[in-house]
Structure 1
């Protein structure tokens, strides 16, 4: 029996420790470590458990049911919207349930546990000639289970789509404790499932009825763009040659069930990849150029604005990697072409240069051919999250409206209107992200330790959500809703579909235990902030409880904030995790 520390604060801790083979941690330090993710939010969990196998997961669900304790499945903690924090027993899969269980090269799929880290998964696949399509920036920390829960995408989603496009089957445990396997059902299979008299049949019946009843509203309210992860995926049911509830669980942020295994589709790894880095004198020019570039069938079109370039130049770690930046551009579009022959890709770069000339931008393409140099480009691009934390001053680029998505051809007008909103609030912002699919990560610079910063946090969120809808887009294109955006789901989808989402939640989770407060019935987005307007009071408390004066205590707190940002900037991995194949 794993030991429980003497700091255990909840009766469930002893019961879990007696029954589980995995670890049980309810001590103050562990709870504090798991009170945050990569977002702006902080909620101290009830405790943390690290299951070793599926039976542990079932025991966790059963034992916590007696006292109606909430559960929160968690991956690498890279969530930017607060999906992975809550007053619940956190189930962390990264320590033990992190294996690749099977790989079928002939049919191009793999079975994985939820704790498998994306980089480790692709390393495991390296000798097979296959890889996993979605490629999120925090790939050294992000787990496949977290990516399933978030419906993650990545830089190459114009080619590989979202996580829902790659999940074939999910296994796990429902809130009741029942095991499930959700995969593709034919029409006959669906009919047979609906004739059964059990919990799974009830769920299938309820969800199928909702999808059929509200199909017109779904068609009306779900945006017609490639990037949308908000709400529950009622639009996915029946789209892929059969009814598959796995598609509904993808992107559900742990609010419907606990997934313990996924069967995922693999893609062929291209033999070669090259980059054309387009330089622009104005940000507006880069937005006008992005949609025409999509006609060249690139694998990625990534935007980096001047702030990111300047921060990378100021970084001792990254400045030597900026060989692809010539002069002092206001914006870059990093265009990747990938394929089986190098000659084919060189022709693509020629086409890109010709297109830029035809659009009036002249000879603005820097070619990056060597794999090592291409890796430098992607390293700098992925470092954006951490580099933004190194901005000098109290206001930092904050993630909360960083996930809007519109059709690529709408980007020039949309970003201009976005800037008008920021100007009205006298706020600067960093712009970067996936221009190829119209999903830009805009980070307004706010100080969330002050009341004025928190006020602008809400006001800007409300205006930008409305703006995204006006342009036929979404408030959440890849990072999910969590605590930052769930509040707006009723506004985004309307009362009818929001009520349907609640019915989906009830069908799977009748007692509301699965990661409550996300997707539906969420708290206000300006509550539970990591810092918030009481930050100054916390600094006074720190100073009062130590030999530090208030100024020194405040400086220490800022150093700690900067250190956290630097970890992201340096791309330090969590540590190599063992993986085995059967």
Structure 2
């Protein structure tokens, strides 16, 4: 098996970056400034196939540190300094990798700051991990709905920067659908608070002096003057992660203006998030998980359109490659009886279909027609040949953990990288 080749220790950080770090320290930066080879090597990879060695890694202590970093980088002498925010390093496209400076908020800026259950929101710093937040919220009967597979490592700042979504996105949408307010630091070190505003407020914001007024004037001009081009260009998809979401700035009747739609998914290129106020969702009382067995991936994919009609909270497919790799993983003995056909029919792909709500009887009404159809057609070529149903929290968790392992299992395949 060939792995990513080792990077050669590059010795000292380049002079310009060294000078930048020295000035930061002298100006009262409170966090950590790291340029040792070990720290740089660890942050030269993420969950992608790429490896890029940074010049240094910065761990800001608070918002003042972030402001200091960006204000200093805006000076003429440091115009060539490149800054890239990093969360949990779970991105699969190399978004957090850079040959410049990594700014990692996960070490110190990782606090849950405020919870308002009456109004249904929570305020967090960007380094808070998704599982950390939802574990805290669970006792209150609410959760942050966008879900990603690496939830034990993914930070809220990273999810905002990539507009992340995953299991349950067909009902709950993307991260941007749950953002109420973003506190950001702009490229010149200024702070900015962004919330949904009406058109009268937009006109007031456009009169502001400095970079913030310029932002509102520019964005408003672009989304209005190029409205047709934006409408014709942007796909009508519930899940996508490419480009700035200009289509989401104005609502349908153009009565509201939401800069957060643009900031979310911008991968830190427009501003660095220092705090976020996020909408919370009540945890459903009941959950049912249906595991459907198929003889091929094509059969499972073809069946998905029928399954979606039953309005599940989530539907995910695990193909033969992942199931085969899972057999060598420690999790497989715990899920084997649910993903293999008890009558010995070859199961090469499964669909996981979850239903959630407050009444179990309503969920059963959705699931029973699917099961009856499977039983009726199970011996027909190209149709599903079996299923498993559970409402037990432990079993549901184990099956979704199998799904979460998918990227890691594929990433460990032998061969060139």
3-state secondary structure, aligned to 1:338? strand
| CA distance, structure 2, for counterparts of residue 29 and residue 15 of structure 1 | 23
Question: Structure 2: where are the runs of 5+ without partners?
Answer: 1-10
Deviations 1:221-256 (A, max 9, x none): 111221122110100012286102111000001111
* Structure 2 equivalent of residue 128 of structure 1: 140
SS in 1 for 2:66: helix
Superposition deviation, residue 363 in structure 1: 5.5
Which of 237, 245, 250 is the matching residue for 2:259?
Answer: 245
Q: What is the CA–CA distance in structure 1 between the aligned matches of 2:142 and 2:58, rounded to whole Å?
A: 33
Alignment partner, residue 337 of structure 2: 323
**Superposition map of 1:350-361 within 5 A:** 350-356=368-374, 361=383
Cα displacement string for residues 448-490 of structure 1 (whole angstroms, at most 9, x for unaligned residues):
3xxxxxxxxxxxxxxxxxxxxxxxxxxxxxxxxxxxxxxxxxx
Asked if the contact 2:95–2:267 (Cα under 8 Å) also holds between the matched residues in 1, the reply is yes
> What is the Cα deviation at residue 356 of structure 1?
3.7
Cα distance in 1, alignment partners of residues 232 and 374 from structure 2: 36
Question: Which residue does the alignment assign to 1:43?
Answer: 52
Relative to the length of structure 1, the TM-score reads 0.65
Is the Cα–Cα contact under 8 Å of residues 353 and 363 in structure 1 kept in the other structure? no
In the alignment, the residues of structure 2 paired with residue 210 and residue 362 of structure 1 have an alpha-carbon distance, to the nearest angstrom, of 49
- Which residue pairs with 1:256 in the alignment? 270
In 2, the alpha carbon distance for the partners of 1:197 and 1:123 equals 43
- Separation of aligned partners in 2, 1:225 and 1:247: 15
Note if contact 2:331-2:402 (Cα within 8 Å) is conserved in structure 1.
no
Alignment of 1:22-421 (within 5 A): 22-66=31-75, 67-68=78-79, 69-239=81-251, 242-327=256-341, 328-356=346-374, 361=383, 364-391=386-413, 393-394=414-415
Distance in 1 of aligned mates of 2:335 and 2:233: 44
- Deviations 1:183-208 (Å, cap 9, x if unpaired)? 11111111111223332111111111
Asked if structure 2 preserves the Cα contact closer than 8 Å seen for 1:276 and 1:352, the reply is no
The residue number in structure 1 matching 2:6 is none
1:168: how far off? 1.3
Greater CA drift, 166-175 or 234-243: 234-243
Q: Is the 8 A contact 2:292 2:384 kept in 1?
A: no
Displacement of 1:352 after TM fit?
A: 2.1
| Equivalent position of 1:409 in the other structure | none
Which sections of structure 1, spanning at least 5 residues, go unmatched? 1-5, 395-446, 449-582
Two-structure CA RMSD over aligned residues (Å): 1.8
Tell me how far 1:42 sits from its aligned partner. Answer: 1.6
Secondary structure, counterpart of 1:90 in structure 2 = strand
- The answer on whether the counterparts of 1:172 and 1:258 sit within 8 Å (CA) in structure 2 is yes
- The SS at the match of 1:314 is coil
Would the aligned equivalents of 1:22 and 1:49 in 2 still touch at CA under 8 Å?
A: yes
Q: Name which of structure 1's ranges 335-344 and 295-304 shifts more when overlaid on structure 2.
A: 335-344
Aligned match of 1:518: none
Q: Is the 8 A contact 2:84 2:98 kept in 1?
A: yes
The Cα of 1:278 is off from its aligned counterpart by: 0.8
Which residue is equivalent to 2:22? 14
Following superposition, the deviation at residue 357 of structure 1 comes to: 5.2
* Secondary structure at 1:279 match in 2: strand
Matches within 5 A, 1:456-475: none
Aligned 1:427-466 pairs, distance under 5 A: 447-448=416-417
> Structure 1 residues 389, 87: CA separation in 2 closer, same or farther (over 3 Å shift)?
closer
Cα distance in 2 for partners of 1:250, 1:305 equals: 31
Q: Is the 8 A contact 1:277 1:365 kept in 2?
A: yes
Per-residue deviation, residues 62-115 of structure 1 (Å, max 9, x unmatched): 223331211111100111001000122211111110011111111111111000
**More contact order relative to length (CA 8 Å, sep ≥ 6):** 1
Higher helix share: 1
Report the alpha carbon displacement of residue 284 of structure 1 after superposing the two structures with TM: 1.4
The CA distance in 1 between the partners of 2:148 and 2:290, in whole Å, is 21
